[in-house]
Amino acid sequence: MKKWESPYLQSMLRLTKKFRTGLWLTAAALFLCFLLISGSMFCTPSFTIYNKTKGEVVSQVPLSDIIEICYIYRQSYDRGLIEEYFEIEDKQLVPTVMTYDTDSYDFHGSRYMNSERRLVEDRWQIRINKHPGYPVILYRIGYTIEQNMRLLTVKGEKSFSFKKIGEPGDLIIVGAGER
């Protein structure tokens, strides 16, 4: 019997092959974990306008570029003009100011507790204090009302007419999160 044919050496070689295979599988698993982790680290948090009905992303803007968000529309009940302003804090859409023409939208400032209500140039203005915010806000494109979203960013202003991004009844989701 030759030295390399000994049963002990043969069992060691088999163990070594198993060990090498295991080592390769472990290395491959670690590499895949690294790719998954590094991929999530490179995701850019963004403000997104998404037409859920059509399955289309309308706009994505990095959160770091957003200064203010304004949703402007006419109420369907009395056609009063309403403006709702939001800022982004901790990936939440935080309402800051609401301006409207008539009390039918926000009866005597009851929509947001702990807010300051005052009349400014014949329009009611509510300064909203300490609101926790919303991760997303859902809107439906109206059949008869005009709806717009205006984004004030460090690079300028972007405006979106809801009628141009979808059909009446479409569900629009706006939110702050990962791209």
Residue 50 has pLDDT above 60, yes or no: yes
Q: pTM for the whole thing?
A: 0.71
61 is written with which tokens? 């803007």
Phi, psi angles (nearest 5°) of residue 30: -65, -40
Higher pLDDT, 137 or 107: 137
* Dist CA 18 CA 10 (whole Å): 12
What confidence category does residue 84 fall into, taking pLDDT thresholds of 50, 70 and 90? Answer: very high
Residue 139 CB-density burial (10 A; 0-12 exposed, 13-18 middle, 19+ buried): middle
Nearest to 134 by CA among 89, 75, 67: 89
Contact assessment for residue 125 and residue 112, using Cβ atoms and an 8 Å cutoff? no
Q: Domain residues of the chain, as ranges? A: 3-41, 45-178
Query: 108-149 pLDDT, tens per residue?
Result: 666 777 788 888 888 888 899 888 899 999 999 988 888 999
* Mean pLDDT of all residues belonging to the chain: 81
In this predicted structure, the answer to whether residue 40 has a pLDDT above a threshold of 50 is no
